Amino acid sequence: MTSGIRLVIPAQPEYLSLVRAVVAAAAALDPGLGDDRIEDLRIAVSEATTNAIEAHANLGSRERITIRCDLAEDRIEVEVEDHADPHFDIGELDSPGALDRPGRLEYEGGMGIPLMRVLADEMKIRSLDHGTAVQLVVYAAGPKQE
């Protein structure tokens, strides 16, 4: 049994704080998620939404961004879907150690995706016909053991 909400926002940075507030409030409905996990999710969702806003801005797109939040007993899933052309080179992203790469801190950007990977228990990026969807999952009990 899951329950969920859907938030559709203009692709503008001013809406980021609203997204964080809604996702954190939704996550707080799950009594199993502690404050630290909610904070992890809040940051990860903000990073995904920031990337979506940037992608829209780069294309001059006026489409909206959709954030879906599904609560299940053991986890919360959030999906951020943009309407920019697929903008991630998914092959390039498969580098969990990216934050520790030597010389990494010479660059001011590019921390968002590695940060999402470590803050969420699962992160999946899907290319859609009209854009990209980033799914973030946080489990109440912590990361699932493979």
Partner 1 sequence: MLSVSSSESGRWRILHVRGEIDMATCPILRQEIVGEIGQGHRHLVVDLAGVDFVDSTGLGVLIGGLKRARSQGGDLRVSGVSGHLRRIFDLTGLHRVFAVVELDRPDEVVEARSGSNQP
> Which positions lie near partner 1, rule CB under 8 A?
13-14, 16-17, 20, 36, 39, 42-43, 46-47, 50, 53-54, 99-100, 104-105, 107-112, 114-115, 118-119
14/94 with CB nearer partner 1: 14
Tell the smallest beta-carbon distance from residue 74 to partner 1 (Å): 23
The answer to whether the beta carbons of residues 81 and 56 sit under 8 Å apart is no
47/79 with CB nearer partner 1: 47
DSSP result, 13-60: GGGHHHHHHHHHHHHHTSTT--HHHHHHHHHHHHHHHHHHHHHHHHHT
47/121 with CB nearer partner 1: 47
Tell the smallest beta-carbon distance from residue 18 to partner 1 (Å): 10
Tell the smallest beta-carbon distance from residue 73 to partner 1 (Å): 25
14/89 with CB nearer partner 1: 14
Tell the smallest beta-carbon distance from residue 81 to partner 1 (Å): 18
d(CA 33, CA 54): 30
The burial of 37, by beta-carbon neighbours within 10 Å (0-12 exposed, 13-18 middle, 19 or more buried), is given as buried
